[in-house]
């Protein structure tokens, strides 16, 4: 096995969350009387911290307005958007095979941990993970490099060379690099070809099958 410890992003890597995230963003914008971008024009918000996305959408850095937007988003997301989500085909089987071979799967998502736990449980994937780590609702651990640093506290130092981050956006690459671990970018998520090539991960795979072939050799 190339790697023994695998840190996984969630959105765009394990599941396709587009419907739930984009409709919840539209809900927040509508409640704030802002123009509504089309769903297909909102792909770029899947991955980055929500507050940073709302700064762009609302064209503001006013904390009170950003807090209001995030609250409205979460009001819908926690009741509905959470479940408007689809597991990428082949992911549960891959996680199961990796666990059976003695690998450790650890979740490292910027999504709030409370939502990540619910999603994994809803799709019966929580049992594949020894650690489920996300950001906190107060904003702690939302930056990927900080989040990965926290997750790696669960990994012995002698296993760092056999540890990899798997994600679909440049933030995953940057976070892994900041913590001196290797990184695999998946192209089936929401990172563009240009974004991922510029980020320069150790590997780029096109499909879940390609990812499996890389991880299990």
Nearest CA-CA partner of 108 in 71, 157, 143: 143
Handedness of CA 66, 74, 43, 8 (dihedral sign): positive
Measured from the Cβ of residue 62, the count of other Cβ atoms closer than 10 Å reads 11
Query: Kind and range of the H or E element at 80?
Result: none
Write down the catalytic residue from 9, 11, 16, 168.
9
Q: Helix or strand or coil: residue 187?
A: coil
Query: Kind and range of the H or E element at 16?
Result: strand 15-16
Contacts of 62 (CB under 8 A, 6+ apart): none
> How does DSSP classify residue 11?
B
Cα→Cα distances 71→64, 67, 94, 102, Å: 11, 6, 35, 40
Residue 67 designated active-site? no
Handedness of CA 159, 199, 145, 50 (dihedral sign): negative
Catalytic residues: 9
């Amino acid at each position: 096995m190339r790697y023994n410890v695998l840190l996984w992003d969630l959105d765009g890597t394990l599941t396709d969350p587009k419907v739930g995230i984009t409709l919840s963003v539209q809900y927040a914008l509508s409640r704030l009387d802002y123009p509504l971008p089309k769903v297909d024009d909102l792909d770029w918000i899947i991955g980055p911290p929500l507050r940073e996305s709302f700064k762009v959408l609302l064209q503001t850095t006013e904390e009170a307005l950003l807090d209001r937007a995030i609250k409205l988003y979460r009001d819908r997301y926690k009741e509905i958007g959470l479940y408007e989500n689809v597991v990428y085909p082949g992911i549960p089987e891959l996680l199961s095979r990796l666990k059976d071979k003695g690998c450790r799967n650890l979740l490292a998502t910027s999504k709030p941990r409370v939502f990540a736990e619910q999603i994994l449980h809803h799709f019966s994937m929580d049992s594949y993970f020894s650690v489920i780590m996300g950001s906190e609702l107060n904003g702690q651990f939302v930056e990927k490099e900080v989040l990965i640093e926290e997750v790696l506290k669960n990994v012995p130092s002698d296993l760092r060379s056999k540890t990899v981050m798997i994600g679909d956006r440049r933030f995953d690459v940057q976070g892994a690099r900041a913590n001196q671990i290797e990184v695999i970018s998946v192209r089936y998520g929401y990172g563009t070809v240009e974004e991922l090539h510029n980020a320069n991960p150790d590997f780029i795979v096109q499909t879940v099958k390609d990812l499996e072939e890389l991880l299990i050799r």
